[in-house]
C-alpha cells in the first residue's frame, strides 16, 4: 500500500499487491505504453494521456511528471514511511544542519541570503568561485539564517564556516 500525494494537495491510496491495482480501494483499469526517453502513453477511462517523467528524486521518493503539458509534483510513501510516521520517528531522518562550510578554497562572488532570512531546502545561499568555476552552494535543509560570516569578495579556505543557522 502506497500513499501518493500530488501537488501537495491530493492524497491517494494505491495498492498494487493483488491481481488488480486499487486506487482508494476501487479497482482501476489502466493501460500504459512506454515510448522510451521517460515518455509514456496512458489510457485511462477511454482517454489518452501523454506523460513524461521530468525529474526523479529517489532519496525523497518524489518526481515531477508532465501530463499533456501540465507538470505535477508527485511524492510517494511506502509502508515503511507510514510506519515511521505512526511511531513518530519520521522526523529523525531529516538533516538538521547548523552551518554551511566552504567545500574548497575560493572567492565569494555573491551572498544571496542575509541574517534572519528564512530558507527552504534547495535555496541558493551563495556563489563560490574555485578553480575558475562558479559553484552555487545550496541549502540542504529548511531553516533560518543566524549569521553570515562572509561577504562578497572574501577569500575563504576549505571548511571555513560561511553561514550559520538557528
Domains of the chain: 2-86 (no CATH), 99-165 (2.40.50.100)
Helix (H, G, I), strand (E, B) or coil at 7: coil
Q: Coil, strand, or helix at residue 156?
A: strand
Rg (CA), the chain: 22
Q: pTM score, two decimals?
A: 0.52
Sheet architecture: strand order including 143-148: 99-101, 161-165, 143-148, 118-119
Give the mean model confidence (pLDDT) for residues 36-52.
94
Highest mean pLDDT among 3-7, 16-20, 84-88: 3-7
Strands of 7-152, DSSP E: 10-15, 22-23, 26-27, 30-36, 39-44, 47-57, 62-67, 70-77, 99-101, 106-111, 118-119, 124-130, 133-138, 143-148
Please give the pLDDT value at position 31.
92
N residues, the chain: 166
Please identify which residue in the block is written with the cell numbers 489502466.
30
Contact indicator for 126, 138 with CB cutoff of 8 Å: no
Phi, psi for 113 (deg, rounded to 5): -130, 165
Confidence of residue 132 (pLDDT cuts 50, 70, 90): confident
**pLDDT, tens digit (0-9, with 9 covering 90-100), for 91-121:** 554 556 788 899 999 999 999 999 999 998 8
Tell me the percentage of the chain whose pLDDT exceeds 90. Answer: 66
**Residue 5: pLDDT band by 50, 70, 90 thresholds?**
very high
Confidence of residue 127 (pLDDT cuts 50, 70, 90): very high
Residue 64, classed as helix, strand or coil, is strand
Q: Residue 140: its pLDDT value, please?
A: 83
- At 56-99, the pLDDT tens digits run 998 889 999 999 999 999 999 988 888 877 776 665 545 567 88
Amino acid at each position: 500500500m502506497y500513499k501518493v500525494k500530488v501537488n501537495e494537495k491530493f492524497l491517494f491510496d494505491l495498492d498494487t499487491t493483488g491481481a488488480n491495482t486499487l486506487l482508494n480501494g476501487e479497482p482501476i483499469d489502466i493501460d500504459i505504453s512506454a515510448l522510451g526517453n521517460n515518455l509514456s502513453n496512458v489510457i485511462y477511462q477511454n482517454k489518452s494521456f501523454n506523460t513524461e517523467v521530468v525529474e526523479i528524486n529517489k532519496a525523497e521518493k518524489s518526481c515531477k511528471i508532465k501530463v499533456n503539458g501540465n507538470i505535477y509534483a508527485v511524492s510517494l510513501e511506502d509502508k515503511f514511511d507510514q510506519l515511521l510516521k505512526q511511531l513518530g520517528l519520521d522526523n529523525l531522518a531529516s538533516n538538521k544542519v547548523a552551518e554551511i562550510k566552504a567545500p574548497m578554497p575560493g572567492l565569494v562572488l555573491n551572498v544571496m541570503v542575509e541574517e534572519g532570512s528564512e530558507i527552504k531546502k534547495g535555496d541558493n545561499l551563495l556563489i563560490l568561485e574555485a578553480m575558475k568555476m562558479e559553484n552555487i552552494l545550496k541549502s540542504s535543509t529548511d531553516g533560518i539564517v543566524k549569521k553570515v560570516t562572509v561577504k562578497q569578495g572574501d577569500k575563504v579556505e576549505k571548511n571555513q564556516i560561511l553561514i550559520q543557522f538557528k
